């Protein structure tokens, strides 16, 4: 998917307002506060992202052919990052989740402003979301 994505373009626009990274981090914190909490039953090791410095739980469900994610983290910046990923990937088909190039990460300067452990966590979150997409895609193909 090399064309522009309206959701990612909106995120890039929102972050372009801020000059320095402290302001961008504060915006991530605001986004984290808006993320609906994950159900308590999903705050278990089964939903925990591996390789992330902080604890991040991600769950996904397929409704009417589209994926919807819920997540939480014990670290507020990380929670803001997962809120952005959810915003971009929610409501897409499993194939679209797999095909979506998350170019906003680069464009807003997120990757270069994360510590190596947070960058690994970001990769882990994306990987887990795509694994859910693969699983739902396989399940859907089996039932067709």
Q: What is the pLDDT of residues 105-114, one digit of tens each?
A: 999 999 888 8
Rounded average pLDDT over 4-11: 95
Report pTM.
0.93
Tokens of 74: 């014990």
pLDDT at 1: 42
- From CA 30, how far away is CA 33, in angstroms rounded? 5
Q: Give the residue numbers marked as catalytic.
A: 52
Q: Phi and psi for 44 in degrees, rounded to 5?
A: -125, 170
pLDDT band at 144; cut points 50, 70, 90: low
Q: What is the mean pLDDT of the chain?
A: 92
């Amino acid at each position: 998917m090399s064309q522009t994505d309206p959701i990612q373009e909106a995120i890039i626009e929102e972050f372009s307002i801020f000059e320095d990274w402290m302001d961008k981090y504060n915006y991530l914190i605001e986004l984290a506060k808006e993320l609906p909490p994950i159900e308590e039953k999903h705050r278990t090791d089964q939903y925990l992202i591996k390789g992330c410095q902080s604890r991040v739980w991600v769950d996904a469900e397929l409704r009417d052919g589209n994926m919807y994610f819920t997540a939480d983290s014990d670290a507020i910046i990380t929670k803001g990052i997962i809120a952005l990923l959810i915003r971009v990937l929610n409501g897409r088909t499993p194939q679209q989740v797999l095909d979506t190039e998350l170019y906003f990460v680069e464009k807003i300067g997120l990757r270069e402003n994360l510590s190596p452990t947070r960058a690994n966590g970001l990769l882990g979150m994306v990987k887990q979301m795509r694994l859910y997409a693969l699983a739902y895609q396989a399940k859907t193909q089996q039932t067709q």
